[in-house]
Amino acid sequence: MKRTTDNLIYLDSAATMPIDQKVVSAMTACLNNTEVIGNPSSLNNAGRNAMHDIEIARQKLANLLHTNKDNLTWTSGATESNNLAIIGAARFRSHLGRHIITMATEHKAVLGAFDYLEKEGFQVTRLIPDSNGLLKLADLKEAIKKETQLVSIMHVNNETGVTQDIVKIGSICREKDILFHTDAAQSIGKISLNLDQLPIDLLSISAHKFYGPQGIGALYMRKAAGCGVIPLHYGGEQEKWIRPGTLPVHQIIGFGVAAELALERSEDDYLIMQDLHKRLWDGLKNIPGIEINGTIKSKYPGILNVSISGVDGESLILLLEPLCVANGSACNSKNNEPSFVLKALGRSDLQAQSAIRFSFNRNTTHEEIDITIEKYHEAVRYLREIAPDELV
Amino acid sequence: MNEFISKQIEPYNDLTRELFTRGAYKDNSVYPKGGVIKARKGSLDDGLVAEIVTIVDDEKIVAAKYRIYGCPHSIASIEWICEEIDGLMIDDLNKIDISSLKNLLLIPIEKTSLILLLEDVLDEIRLQLELK
């Protein structure tokens, strides 16, 4: 068993971003500082220092989201936030109705929570997007019943980058007094959101998707009558009883710094992503049989997902080494099943199976993109060369 | 570290990687003199299409070539098979043990069907040789 680090070109940033060195420095300083690393629930000086730093980090995240810091609850990441938001809110409002709505192309952390609630007796509607990956608003309106209490639609899709119109979706929900949750793991820190002005009730965030540490996330919950969650865990008063457990101080401090950096950089970063996306797609688009998965018109440019005919995805990934790319989402990529997200977009098993997701970060260089283009061309050429003629 | 986790961390061993990219027996449609025997199995729906072409001259396989659509393990496997049968007397074809690939290439259990399919390809070659 050996770890491979030589010549890696990391284009799997939608799975996890490389941590920013300023984040590392802040976390290291925290871990090295015995004054601060007390238990933030303790009332002694070390504990109070820790809680002080946690609240500063919470304020930094609140600044990024343009909301009050009291609306934010620390979690272990977006998966936990999604579970807490969906299961917690559905149970919180179950006395009003037990119908909940989501979309078939959500992250598994959302779909899994809906599956769980379905077993608990909730009625679930899973909307199918159009072939571009976009939710049809008419379908949402049609699916809403008087028993509907929660809608969960992600902002940026983790496989395709397709970006849903959460303003319109949230407005539809607000009109009907339905809670609207969005999994924003792929958009926070990259696309500016003003949560105090958007019709969003619950929003899931993950630090490691925007240069922060793994293992820390947050749930935004709007303060309003009828908006709440029943906790999933019990046994402590941390996070106002919503999410008990000792808070990881160094991770939260790192998260705060990542939020601070995102507030400064996200607009510039977006332009960098557009440039990288264009450069890569310009280099690939002339290969016969290649196509983009998901619309290019409403899409976060940090993700490019392409399928190609006559080529096996697993073989393609191996030939692309040392490029680090994904076939399907990272959570999904260790089984050989074609991506359910791409299948929901109407892609065939073969199209979905050949899909590669390239995802960038602010450190991705033009040279890396050019090497990627060259390697992709070479890999496709080889696999088509050995394939039976009529498959190419 | 248990076998399951090891395979997740490194799903391809060195031999698989070598055979996968070697391409020494890929079909370039240039054949030596002899009778052509071709067998193909699989479908795109199964995610694996494998074809072996053998050139037989005087009871001997003087060339073996392949075309394939499939995963790295299947490509490495067919490269190995063609290397094994190239130069073989046709009576010795039975000695090829495709099931040994499971251990040689550490083929995961969920891909066992590729071994069965490649066995079918080789069986078809044998059958056609017997009928000749």
> Residue B67 and residue A312: Cβ atoms within 8 Å?
no
Residues of A in contact with B23 (CB under 8 A): 382, 385-386
| A384–chain B nearest CA distance, Å | 8
Identify the H or E element spanning B41: strand B35-43
Residues of B in contact with A336 (CB under 8 A): 47, 71, 110
With 90 as the cut, is the pLDDT of residue B22 above it? Answer: yes
With 90 as the cut, is the pLDDT of residue A339 above it? Answer: no
Contact yes or no for A181/A86 (Cβ under 8 A): yes
pLDDT at B70: 95
- Averaged pLDDT for residues A160-170: 97
Identify the H or E element spanning B52: strand B48-57
pLDDT at A328: 53
Cα(A61)–Cα(B43) distance, integer angstroms:
52
pLDDT, mean over chain A? 93
Q: What ipTM was assigned to the predicted interfaces of this complex? A: 0.93
Reported confidence tier of residue B6, pLDDT bands at 50, 70, 90: low
Is the minimum CB–CB distance between A1 and chain B shorter than 8 Å? yes
Chain A residues 286-325 with CB within 8 Å of chain B: 310, 312, 314-315, 318-319
Is the minimum CB–CB distance between A330 and chain B shorter than 8 Å? no
What does the pLDDT look like over B33-45, one tens digit per residue? Answer: 888 999 999 998 8
Q: Which CATH number fits domain A21-261: 3.40.50.300, 3.40.640.10, 3.40.190.10, 1.20.1530.20?
A: 3.40.640.10
Chain A residues 359-388 with CB within 8 Å of chain B: 382-383, 385-388
With 70 as the cut, is the pLDDT of residue A195 above it? Answer: yes
pLDDT at A297: 86
With 70 as the cut, is the pLDDT of residue A14 above it? Answer: yes
> Residue A315 and residue B49: Cβ atoms within 8 Å?
no
Reported confidence tier of residue B7, pLDDT bands at 50, 70, 90: low
- The superfamily (CATH) of domain A9-17+266-386 is Aspartate Aminotransferase, domain 1 (3.90.1150.10)
- Domain with residue B88: its CATH number is 3.90.1010.10
Nearest to A312 among B23, B51, B71 (CB): B71
Residues of B in contact with A319 (CB under 8 A): 21
> Residue A314 and residue B72: Cβ atoms within 8 Å?
yes
- Averaged pLDDT for residues A311-337: 77
Reported confidence tier of residue A332, pLDDT bands at 50, 70, 90: very low
Active-site residue numbers of A?
331
Residues of A in contact with B49 (CB under 8 A): 387-388, 391
Domain boundaries, chain A: 9-17+266-386, 21-261
pLDDT at A159: 95
pLDDT at B130: 84
| B13–chain A nearest CA distance, Å | 10
> Residue B67 and residue A388: Cβ atoms within 8 Å?
yes
Reported confidence tier of residue B10, pLDDT bands at 50, 70, 90: confident
> Residue B17 and residue A318: Cβ atoms within 8 Å?
yes
Chain B residues 15-74 with CB within 8 Å of chain A: 17, 20-21, 23, 26-27, 40, 44-45, 47, 49, 51, 66-72
Residue B6 in any domain: the answer is no
Query: A interface mutation test: which of B71, B107, B113, B121 has the most A CBs within 10 A?
Result: B71
What does the pLDDT look like over A210-239, one tens digit per residue? Answer: 999 999 999 999 999 899 999 999 998 999
Residues of B in contact with A350 (CB under 8 A): 44, 47
Residues of A in contact with B72 (CB under 8 A): 314-315, 318
Token pair belonging to A44:
């002694």
pLDDT at A5: 60
Beta-carbon contacts below 8 Å between A and B = 57
The residue segments making up the domain with residue B119 are 12-131
> Residue B47 and residue A382: Cβ atoms within 8 Å?
no
With 70 as the cut, is the pLDDT of residue A321 above it? Answer: yes
> Residue A391 and residue B45: Cβ atoms within 8 Å?
no
Nearest to B69 among A2, A334, A387 (CB): A387
Nearest to A391 among B6, B26, B49 (CB): B49
pLDDT at B30: 82
Residue B1 in any domain: the answer is no
With 50 as the cut, is the pLDDT of residue A334 above it? Answer: no
pLDDT at A4: 60
With 80 as the cut, is the pLDDT of residue A255 above it? Answer: yes
Please give the residue of chain A at the shortest CA–CA distance from B72: A315
- Averaged pLDDT for residues A146-155: 98
Residues of A in contact with B70 (CB under 8 A): 312, 315
DSSP per residue over B57-92, as a string? ETTEEEEEEEEEES-HHHHHHHHHHHHHHTT-BGGG
3-state secondary structure chain A: CCCCCCCCEECECCCCCCCCHHHHHHHHHHHHCCCCCCCCCCCCHHHHHHHHHHHHHHHHHHHHHCCCHHHEEEECCHHHHHHHHHHHHHHHCCCCCCEEEEECCCCHHHHHHHHHHHHCCCEEEEECCCCCCCCCHHHHHHHCCCCEEEEECCCECCCCCEECCHHHHHHHHHHCCCEEEEECCCCCCCCCCCCCCCCCCEEEEEHHHCCCCCCCEEEEECCCCCCCCCCCCCCCCHHHHCCCCCCCHHHHHHHHHHHHHHHHHHHHHHHHHHHHHHHHHHHHCCCCCEEECCCCCCECCCEEEEEECCCCHHHHHHHHCCEECECCCHHHCCCCCCCHHHHHCCCCHHHHHCCEEEECCCCCCHHHHHHHHHHHHHHHHHHHHHCCHHHC
Residue B74 in any domain: the answer is yes
Q: Considering only residues A267 and B132, tell me which one the structure prediction assigns the higher pLDDT.
A: A267
Is the minimum CB–CB distance between A349 and chain B shorter than 8 Å? yes
Residue B106 in any domain: the answer is yes
> Residue B44 and residue A391: Cβ atoms within 8 Å?
yes
Nearest to B20 among A310, A318, A350 (CB): A318
| A386–chain B nearest CA distance, Å | 5
Residue B22 in any domain: the answer is yes
Count: domains in chain B: 1
- Percent of chain A topping pLDDT 70: 95
Contact yes or no for A298/A162 (Cβ under 8 A): yes
